[in-house]
Chains A and B, each alone.
With several copies, the nearest count.
Chain A
């Protein structure tokens, strides 16, 4: 019982288109000042989120990253509520408390984007361990970038998942750079070699090909669900935009125009089996519609009341002492 909206190539194309258009809208809203603080655009990497989520069941879970919109949307989050979150409105996924970097929807198994590189991986391992202990068939996908391969806690997590045989699918989105640092000069050895060294089956796939990602993810999910333990997928991909929207203030030279162009030619939307068919045009129109409703929802959602600023600080209900003078 995989995710219904990703069950066929058309659904996967639709979700990739949704992510792309969502990111374009978000970029517009950042530029116009509607979204404060900026975002890390996912454009170009859609095939990874969609391909992996296509292999998941609704009750499966994921942990995401600073570049999380794609994962959150692919798992099925409402685009209107994600947009509202970017605007910091009460109708947002997190009630406006999280913003782009912390978007979560626990009802859909989205355990949260995370502002700290690598931090999602051990959470995924623990969540997977707990689910298995409780007799639930849950598989947890953990997304992270090539930069995260150099975070100690992520490497510790590979080991922990390995010895626990935790039902985790580690998904490394190797987009070639951690901000400005090329993976080639930051990652000694190879991504898959590292995972394999911890005893985790690992494979590299074309991260611009949604069907290839889905096929590999299905193998990994099947292994996890049947008690075979964790797997590792390195998805070779590329981000079409800046690392972060604020990057446009700098004149950076870490990627050549040619390099960007050559990857844009491999746009995952264009290589979808549905691309070019009349169906695709219909889907594109559908998505425009969907996003305009979503935007409407977000823009009309209320601003939170400053008096509620410490709401939810403690799940137990403890109210913290104020910072104002007595």
Chain B
């Protein structure tokens, strides 16, 4: 049995990408020391010219990633905090994302941005606990949120090879997940959902680390209800056909999504279901509250994140 952790899987995906393609390079703070785990050992192995420690200039080094991409590189930018994505929103949404169309297809920007530790890490408080994947999905940047080590490996590998900008969220709540890896690690296509557990009564769409919570709740309720757990893996572009098929089987929908409710990822899933499916009961969302800011105190922080009781309640609600 080979147990592979999520963090180690990401690290391996990046190492394999650096090994396979000299165009791959890494920009980030403290990537030499590998503080976030993602780059551990990689500067030693590939050199400080490919795994580059950069000054605290997120806007400049993210856009430098764009410039490098325009000249044939495939840069991976590591951001230490999810909210640093706010700081580089201009660079990603207004520059990287728009280059291809605005130049009439002359340019492509194969830039991957990784946040190794998104969402709440207890005790990091208001500015370090965001899960802003919905923002990137809304503007149309490819947005990934792998839940397992193999998917983390597979999606990061695909992101680096993709010709468009990609943002990958590695939820803090999943970094410690370990998986017995027997089959070789392979790329996972962007845009393909995965059914972790088939079921016939309710489809639970779960994002990132909440996939594990959903699986636990599904198991717990197994005697009562047959829950299908669908992990979109790629948030944008969404695998709508997998969603619609699953809802065709179950007719009931709960989305569990650790981000703000209003116009978030869960809203899109409900909207697609409303447009394309006939549900047997009103769907439910389990999310953070509207406009959530996570308070520091642990009990308060937890109170604002989707918990297993809420998911249980939601599953029971759609069965009524």
Contact = CB atoms under 8 A, between A and B. Distances in A.
Direct contact of A and B (CB under 8 A): yes
Interface of A: 35-38, 61, 63, 85, 88-89, 92-102, 104-107, 111-112, 114-119, 121-131, 133-134, 138, 140, 147-148, 150-153, 156-157, 159-160, 163, 178-181, 185-187, 250, 252, 254, 303-316, 318, 320-326
B108 interface: yes
B250 interface: no
A314 B164 contact: yes
A159 B55 contact: yes
Given A150-B56, A152-B57, A96 B122 contact: no
B245 interface: no
A239 B132 CA distance: 33
B181 interface: no
A119, A185, A252, A325 — most chain B CB neighbours (10 Å): A325
B241 interface: no
27 contacts: A35-B123, A37-B123, A38-B123, A94-B296, A96-B104, A96-B295, A97-B297, A111-B70, A119-B95, A122-B60, A122-B61, A122-B91, A123-B66, A127-B68, A128-B67, A130-B71, A179-B33, A180-B32, A186-B56, A310-B292, A315-B164, A318-B164, A318-B237, A323-B287, A323-B305, A324-B313, A326-B317
A179 B110 CA distance: 29
B132 to A, nearest CB: 14
B89 interface: no
Interface in B38-88: 49, 53-57, 59-73, 75, 81, 83, 87
B59 A122 contact: yes
Contacts of B55: 147, 150, 156, 159-160, 163, 178, 181, 186-187
A133 B128 CA distance: 34
A312 B59 CA distance: 25
Contact of A98 (B32, B83, B102, B142): B102
B218 to A, nearest CB: 16
Contact of A325 (B32, B292, B300, B314): B314
A313 B303 CA distance: 14
B35 to A, nearest CB: 7
A180 B303 contact: no
Given A123-B70, A324-B286, A98 B56 contact: no
B102 A127 contact: no
Contacts of A133: 25, 49, 68, 73
A315 B254 contact: no
A134 B123 CA distance: 38
B276 A326 contact: yes
B139 to A, nearest CB: 12
A236 B161 CA distance: 44
A259 to B, nearest CB: 16
A181 B30 contact: yes
Given A98-B104, A320-B289, A323-B286, A124 B67 contact: yes
Question: Looking at chain B, what size class is its interface with the partner chain?
Answer: 35 or more
B178 interface: no
A38 B67 CA distance: 28
B293 A313 contact: yes
B150 to A, nearest CB: 23
A101 B124 CA distance: 8
Contacts of B262: 321
Nearest to B124: A37
A323 B295 contact: no
Nearest to B60: A156
Interface string B85-101: 00100110011000111
B30 A123 contact: no
A323 B104 contact: no
Contacts of B107: 104, 106, 111-112, 315
Contacts of A147: 55-56
Given A147-B55, A150-B57, A320-B292, A306 B299 contact: yes
Contacts of B32: 180
B67 A315 contact: no
A159 B75 CA distance: 20
A61, A94, A124, A148 — most chain B CB neighbours (10 Å): A94
B100 A315 contact: yes
Q: When A and B form their complex, which 6 residue pairs have the shortest distance between CB atoms, in order from nearest? A: A37-B123, A126-B67, A88-B297, A126-B64, A99-B296, A95-B104
Interface string B233-264: 00001001000000000000010000001100
Given A96-B296, A115-B128, A130-B69, 20 more contacts: A36-B122, A63-B67, A85-B296, A95-B104, A96-B300, A98-B103, A98-B104, A106-B107, A111-B107, A119-B63, A122-B64, A126-B64, A128-B67, A133-B25, A150-B57, A157-B57, A159-B60, A315-B109, A324-B286, A325-B286
B166 to A, nearest CB: 10
Interface string B286-317: 11111111011111111111100010011001
B285 interface: yes
A129 B68 contact: yes
Given A179-B35, A315-B105, A97 B56 contact: no
B121 interface: yes
Given A151-B56, A180-B33, A304-B299, A92 B104 contact: yes
Given A95-B104, A314-B164, A325 B285 contact: yes
B275 interface: yes
Given A133-B49, A310-B292, A318-B164, A93 B313 contact: no
B203 to A, nearest CB: 15
Contacts of B110: 315
B2 interface: no
A324 B275 CA distance: 12
